[in-house]
Amino acid sequence: MTKKKLNIYLAEPRGFCAGVARAIQIVEKAIEKYGKPIYVRHEIVHNKFVVDSLRDKGAVFVDELDEIKDKSRPVIFSAHGVAKSVKEEAIAKGFEFIDAVCPLVKKVHKQAIKFDKDNIKTILIGKKNHVEVIGTKGQIDRDNIKIVKDAKDVELLDKSNEEMAYICQTTLSVDEIDETVRALKNKFTNLIEPKASDVCYATTNRQRAVKKIAKLSDLLIVIGSQNSSNSKKLREVAEKNGCSKAILIDDVSFLDFDEIDDSINNIGITAGASADEVVVQKLLDELKKRFDISVETVTEIKEDMIFTLPKELED
């Protein structure tokens, strides 16, 4: 039987960012150096495939430090960053810990601390319950940071001439942030902006690349986990930029091949910053078995960012 023809557009860049690659390497190196088990507070990155494979290598994931009975074992804090109180708790309980916070999240922490020291109230644009936002808000002791999700939330704030600063979660949609910042500027005449955007290079580049393939695709597949903020944003960006159907799946086992009917001739593929390229390649392999595919890579930019490891794990 002749196979149906499919054009595949692969977004570049896609998948692992430098912060995620570093966080995974931290867990692997810690297992090499200290042996098993190594405890990790919270999923090291929001990706089921990554978490499962690290678990197989000897990582034990916990939600809170209380769950760790053997206090002689090291604990790693995730790439999303933790509140100051979590580190204080670890020290008080005698844990050795390694902080895998992404340097770009750390940069936002430093801004929050500086604004607080300068007595400037701060708006944090982000999702209230996201671990990164909890960690950023938790960098300062007093209640000096207000969280807003979007421009609608900003409408609920009182106008003020008081000096006010804003910072952002690193994995939001670039376009949505612009809208929220415009709303903030209308509300606060003395608004202090971050020197450079807090939305990180990886989020920005992946969203720009997905915009390029969205227009070409009848269906756009984002590889990533449902709890990954940057992966969810890629799906939303695709739908807002010309693709009528975009789906977010952990891996190919979640793809319903019956959905690829006569109306689908062009498929876009990308992957969130915490998704492994292996999973993308498995998807391509399965598509190849069923369809006559031609693959074109659509490049927004070539990335070469690398973050160094914490001193205790350097070779």
Active-site annotation, residues: 132
Whether the CB-CB separation of 209 and 13 falls below 8 Å is answered with: yes
Tokens found for residue 134: 């909890």
User: Smaller CB distance to ligand SF4: residue 19 or 135?
Assistant: 19
68: which 2 tokens? Answer: 């760790």
59-62 and 188-192 beta bridge pairing? unpaired
**In terms of C-beta density within 10 A (0-12 exposed, 13-18 middle, 19 or more buried), how is residue 52 classed?**
exposed
Contact segment (CB under 6 A) with ligand SF4 among 81-89, 140-148, 156-164, 197-205 equals 197-205
Asked if residues 62 and 97 have their Cβ atoms less than 8 Å apart, the reply is no
Name the minimum Å distance from CB 222 to ligand SF4.
14
Q: Which of 13, 15, 19, 135 binds ligand SF4 (CB under 6 A)?
A: 19
Q: What distance in Å separates the CA atoms of residue 142 and residue 163, rounded to the nearest whole number?
A: 17
Contacting ligand SF4 within 238-267 (CB under 6 A): none
Is 173 a residue that touches ligand SF4 (CB under 6 A)?
no
CA distance 126 to 59: 29
Q: Does 124 bind ligand SF4 (CB under 6 A)?
A: no
User: Closest distance between ligand SF4 and the C-beta of residue 104, in Å?
Assistant: 4
Asked whether position 313 contacts ligand SF4 by CB under 6 A, the answer is: no
Q: Cβ 16 to ligand SF4, closest distance in Å? A: 8
The C-alpha angle with vertex 230 and arms to 268 and 66, in degrees rounded to 5, equals 140
| Residue span binding ligand SF4 (CB under 6 A) among the ranges 16-24, 29-37, 240-248, 296-304 | 16-24
Among 122, 136, 217, 230, binds ligand SF4 (CB under 6 A): 230
24, 86, 100, 104: which one binds ligand SF4 (CB under 6 A): 104
**Binding segment for ligand SF4 among 66-74, 196-204, 232-240, 293-301 (CB under 6 A)?**
196-204
Nearer to ligand SF4, 6 or 167 (CB): 167
How many CB atoms within 10 Å of residue 83? 17
Contact indicator for 81, 41 with CB cutoff of 8 Å: no
**Radius of gyration of the chain from Cα atoms?**
21
Residues numbered 34-73 forming contacts with ligand SF4, rule: CB under 6 A: none
Whole-number Cα distances in Å, 132 to 29, 64, 74:
23, 15, 22
Is 131 one of the binding residues for ligand SF4 (CB under 6 A)?
Answer: no
Which pair of structure tokens corresponds to residue 254? Answer: 């979640």
Residue 128: half-sphere exposure toward Cβ, Cα within 13 Å: 6
Which part of the chain contacts ligand SF4 (CB under 6 A), choosing from 97-105, 134-142, 183-191, 242-250? 97-105
Q: In this complex, which beta carbon is closest to ligand SF4, that of residue 225 or of residue 230? A: 230
**Binding residue for ligand SF4 (CB under 6 A) from 31, 98, 105, 124?**
105
Q: Which residues bind ligand SF4 (CB under 6 A)?
A: 17-20, 79, 102, 104-105, 170-171, 200, 202-203, 230, 273
